[in-house]
Structure 1
Amino acid sequence: MAINNICVVGVGGVGGYFGGLMVHSFASGKQISFIARGAHLAQIRERGLMLNTSSRQGLVCTPTLATDRLEDAPTPDLYLLCVKSYDLADVAAQMSRNINEKTIVLPLLNGVDIYERIREELATGIVLPACVYVGTHIAQPGVVTQKGGDGAILCGPDSRHPEFDAAPLLKLFEQAQIQCTWNRDPYPAIWEKFMFIAAFGLVCVASDNTLGEVMADAEALAQTRGIMEEILAIARVKGVNFADDVVERSLAKAGNFPPETKTSYHRDVETPGKRNEGDLFGGAILRMGEEFGVPTPVTRQMYAMIQKNRGISSCAS
């Protein structure tokens, strides 16, 4: 199957990074649509998206179409789904009206139940469980900057479509100089990513510290380790297989980012009135812990502290 029509839904840090690289690599021959909002969209329409990666600065990436209406985009061969988790249900419902049975949906967002949540809205298409490793953010409207991470994607098969041939998708990413790895069981990687982003996200927000500051503080580092061990216990009850050193390896990943790096959750909390992914991390861990009988005292402590600091009387459980 040829992948000639690509739609990037959510052109924030992650969508802007991968979508921008695709636009820059495929100057012609492919239709690439960007779905964005507000001032960011206005700048993309006027000047294109400016992308600064760890190796290349000032890439001007002009998509075929930039819009805030998903229905304006032609039905794609590939969706890069890069929205925040709190927008997932609404966006997936919109996608259900602009999809066919061969459309590939590659979700590049945080969470361990993203496939199931997409399938609640999408009865057709090929949805590939995935995780992504990149530290990016919107530096200003129209500009996306990479601050760390490998810029890599890992994905695996849709259980509804075991016959799916991933070769064209992997070739597409190779041509765009994007590292994409296919794994027959992507869930250990998805859970390991969740372990990293949830633990550091919760502790960074609770302590109001950067990644480097958390790593340098013995108490904060112990709290991060505690949350990771709680996530590990839940995942093992669910049958996810990890190497014995997964917690140490996850802690060490923070060294791949500049010390001043803030998690996306932290940046969102700092923006008055902006929605954030606290429930995806703290709320989800507490709910899964209760469901599977796994104690989660460190997560409960950190999430309660965050809720208190934000003026919320009690935390979700």
Structure 2
Amino acid sequence: MKVAVMGAGAVGCYYGAMLARAGHEVVLIGRPSHVEAVRANGLRLETKTFDVQVPLDASTEASAVQGADLVLFCVKSTDSESAAAQIKPHLLPDALVLTLQNGVDNDERVRAALPSHDVAAAVVYVATEMAGPGHVKHHGRGELVIAPSRRSEEVAQALIAAGVPTQISDNVRGALWAKLVLNCAYNALSAVSQLPYGELVQGTGVTDVIRDVVAECLAVAKAEGVVIPGDVDAAVRAIAQTMPSQYSSTAQDLARGKRSEIDHLNGLVVRRGEALGVPTPANRVLFVMVKLLEGKQQK
């Protein structure tokens, strides 16, 4: 299978490298410094159990999706429409575009931009970071939950064979909301404090704030008619236990002076809450704090 990773950051590089190790033809599409490093030496995949250089292709051009059977769509939520427009002229008619992004509506936005193509959402549970150009570091987990589509079964089997636990679910919308709750609970707090999850939860009053944020998210989801699977409170507690050294993607963005996805996390909950008449004061405070920090950096 030929695979293109559109937006080759930490998430895309991890899954792209796992598929490349399994023998699939993979091209990473990303920033020039990263692409140069990968072209020169391959991608370094550092995990707790192995540390290898994975040979694969890399490009700065969206046209590199040409011929791909599977596109792992991993751009920031803020770039979904523009990135979809960039790859549209180069997609095979039967390619599957799998959205591996934070937020709950990226697949809908990408599908609107690619009405003639197969687009499916994936829920990502992985702790990764870019440790430098051409170097992705895996801290834990890695499972995917993907929505049904014409090629989902084929793709799921390829991922499983590559060492990526994958399941197909009819309730990916609920699973995306479950992931959104986790992101809303931790991302902004980790960003404002610049602390990893394990240290973060030791702070005075932090678990109370997390409880309030989660309750608001669940209230909005209920008003939306979304059924969230599993034990959400247990999942929230488990994050700090299973990923104690992980900084949120929002924290990593702010640390690098980049724009975050907060508009599509706590900001989305605030907007949906306003539309549905559900109060979201805790999410609003976290959203505003991150936006203030972003604004400060841009001056």
TM-score interval (norm. to shorter): over 0.9
CA drift at 1:254: 2.2
1:153 aligns with 144
**Is the 8 Å Cα contact of residues 206 and 303 (structure 1) preserved in structure 2?**
no
Residue-by-residue CA offset, 1:274-298 (whole Å, 9 max, x unaligned): 2211212232121111011110011
**Is the 8 Å Cα contact of residues 99 and 124 (structure 1) preserved in structure 2?**
no
Letter of the 1:236 counterpart = K
Number of residue pairs aligned between Structure 1 and Structure 2:
296
1:315 aligns with none
Q: Alignment partner of 1:294: what SS?
A: coil
TM-score under structure 1 length normalisation:
0.88
Q: How do 1:1-317 residues align onto structure 2 when only pairs under 5 Å count? A: 4-26=1-23, 30-57=24-51, 59-63=52-56, 65-148=57-140, 150-158=141-149, 164=150, 166-242=152-228, 245-258=231-244, 260-272=245-257, 274-311=258-295
Letter of the 2:220 counterpart = I
Residue-by-residue CA offset, 1:248-304 (whole Å, 9 max, x unaligned): 32232221113x3211110111123x2211212232121111011110011112222
Describe the shift of the 1:62–1:169 C-alpha distance in structure 2 as closer, same or farther (beyond 3 A): same
CA drift at 1:128: 1.2
Provide the C-alpha distance between the structure 1 equivalents of 2:95 and 2:216, rounded to a whole number of angstroms. Answer: 37
Question: Which ranges of structure 2 fall in alignment gaps of 5 or more residues?
Answer: none
Provide the C-alpha distance between the structure 1 equivalents of 2:189 and 2:166, rounded to a whole number of angstroms. Answer: 29
Letter of the 2:255 counterpart = E
Provide the C-alpha distance between the structure 2 equivalents of 1:234 and 1:110, rounded to a whole number of angstroms. Answer: 17
TM-score under structure 2 length normalisation:
0.93
CA drift at 1:73: 4.0
Residue-by-residue CA offset, 1:173-201 (whole Å, 9 max, x unaligned): 12212111111221221111111012201
Provide the C-alpha distance between the structure 1 equivalents of 2:35 and 2:121, rounded to a whole number of angstroms. Answer: 28
Letter of the 1:15 counterpart = G
Provide the C-alpha distance between the structure 2 equivalents of 1:173 and 1:14, rounded to a whole number of angstroms. Answer: 14
**Is the 8 Å Cα contact of residues 65 and 87 (structure 2) preserved in structure 1?**
no
**Is the 8 Å Cα contact of residues 4 and 64 (structure 2) preserved in structure 1?**
no
Q: Alignment partner of 1:96: what SS?
A: helix
Provide the C-alpha distance between the structure 1 equivalents of 2:61 and 2:81, rounded to a whole number of angstroms. Answer: 16
**Is the 8 Å Cα contact of residues 43 and 141 (structure 1) preserved in structure 2?**
yes
CA drift at 1:103: 0.9
Residue-by-residue CA offset, 1:185-230 (whole Å, 9 max, x unaligned): 2122111111101220112223333211221124111111211111
Provide the C-alpha distance between the structure 2 equivalents of 1:244 and 1:17, rounded to a whole number of angstroms. Answer: 26
Q: Give the CA RMSD over aligned residues.
A: 1.8
Describe the shift of the 1:73–1:95 C-alpha distance in structure 2 as closer, same or farther (beyond 3 A): closer
